[in-house]
Amino acid sequence: MRVLVADSINEKGIAELEKVAEVVVDTTITPEELLETIKDFDAIIVRSRTKVTREVIEAAPRLKIIARAGVGVDNIDVKAATEKGIMVINAPESTSITVAEHTMGLMLALARKIHLADKSVKEGRWDKNKFMGIELNNKTLGVIGMGRIGSQVVTRAKSFGMNVLVHDPYISKEVADKMGVEIVDLETLLKRSDIISIHVPLTPETRYLISDRELDMMKDTAFIINCARGGIVDEKALYNALKEGRLGGAALDVFEEEPPKDSPLLKLDNVVLTPHIGASTVEAQRDAAIIVANEIRKVFEG
Ligand code: NAD
């Protein structure tokens, strides 16, 4: 069996695979090279750089498994894979805590203006009065989507003394009660929350879930955080709301276009931006690599 590792993954995952297969690591492979070489492989592992398109899948007569060492499979043509009986696997649990911790980091950055204070000190200033923040304690957090990541955010927010509202049509009352959260409709969440954090997948239903109408319902002082997917928040509407003082601030790890080259959001002080690093910790990447390597091993061993 031959496995192509097309994006860099943790070495522990590679060691696991080497027990059952010949592993070729080529993390700079181009789309053209992939089309040519994929015919010689039984499995491919990607993260987000490599796109496994229908064209790639059709050029791969031996391929049995496409693995994403992470969560989203947006870069894999799952329909084309399914049509050819190719298994698509991922490691959805591996990054939940990491993304939740990043979300808390962004929340604290917004609340205490850490990004601005850091810049100011480095520029030689000591503007203590400029950086009056707010406490998270006793604030209301609105979590949109309480799945794997959303529920980890809830646990952490509660330990900060926050009251938590959740909008997730697929969560039962029993689960909500167990988590100690109040389930509300989207409108109520938007109106009552001091901070809103988004943890839903990007689907036709959630595209532009947060646009002009929703931003208008939010408190003028509210913060919004998106560590889920670009396209859930309408960035043009977000920019206008921030610019016009109808919203307190925003933190984005994901963008409609990545990188967000000419976005006017880059110029706003009340915005904290990170380059889609929500899942980027040593622990999450190690776990993702080991999980998909084990799955591939199980398939190869029958
Ligand atoms: P999950 O499937 O466990 O949870 C998603 C939750 O959203 C579910 O509980 C579902 O019921 C709910 N939901 C679906 N549609 C909804 C809607 N219209 N309104 C309200 N709730 C809705 O997913 P997860 O593992 O928690 O991941 C959440 C998101 O985080 C995904 O979009 C994923 O791509 C993203 N993510 C981002 C990074 C990053 O690097 N920033 C890393 C990992 C995951």
Percent of the chain residues past pLDDT 70, beyond the cut: 100
CB of 72 closer than 6 A to ligand 1? yes
CB 253 near ligand 1, within 6 Å:
yes
Measured by CA distance, the residue closest to atom 11 of ligand 1 is: 170
What's the CA-to-centroid distance between 229 and ligand 1, angstroms?
9
What's the predicted TM-score (pTM) here?
A: 0.93
Q: Whose CA is nearest to atom 20 of ligand 1?
A: 168
The residue contributing the CA closest to ligand 1 atom 40 is 278
Q: For ligand 1, atom 2, which residue shows the shortest CA distance?
A: 147
Percent of the chain with pLDDT over 90: 98
The residues annotated with a catalytic role in the active site are 229, 258, 276
Residue 44 banded pLDDT, cuts 50, 70, 90: very high
Q: Say yes or no: CB of residue 139 within 6 Å of ligand 1.
A: no
Q: How confident is the model at residue 27 (pLDDT cuts 50, 70, 90)?
A: very high
Cα(198) to centroid of ligand 1, in Å?
A: 8
For the CA of 93, the nearest atom of ligand 1: 25
Whether ipTM tops 0.95, in short, is yes
For residue range 115-164, list pLDDT tens digits in order.
999 999 999 999 999 999 999 999 999 999 999 999 999 999 999 999 99
Q: How confident is the model at residue 250 (pLDDT cuts 50, 70, 90)?
A: very high
106 lines ligand 1 (CB under 6 A): no
Question: Does 302 have pLDDT greater than 90?
Answer: no
Quote the pLDDT of residue 178. 97
Q: Is the pLDDT of residue 282 over 90?
A: yes
Query: Which atom in ligand 1 lies closest to the alpha carbon of residue 227?
Result: 41
More confident residue, 40 or 302: 40
**Confidence class for position 272, pLDDT limits 50, 70, 90:** very high
Cβ neighbours, 10 Å, residue 23:
20
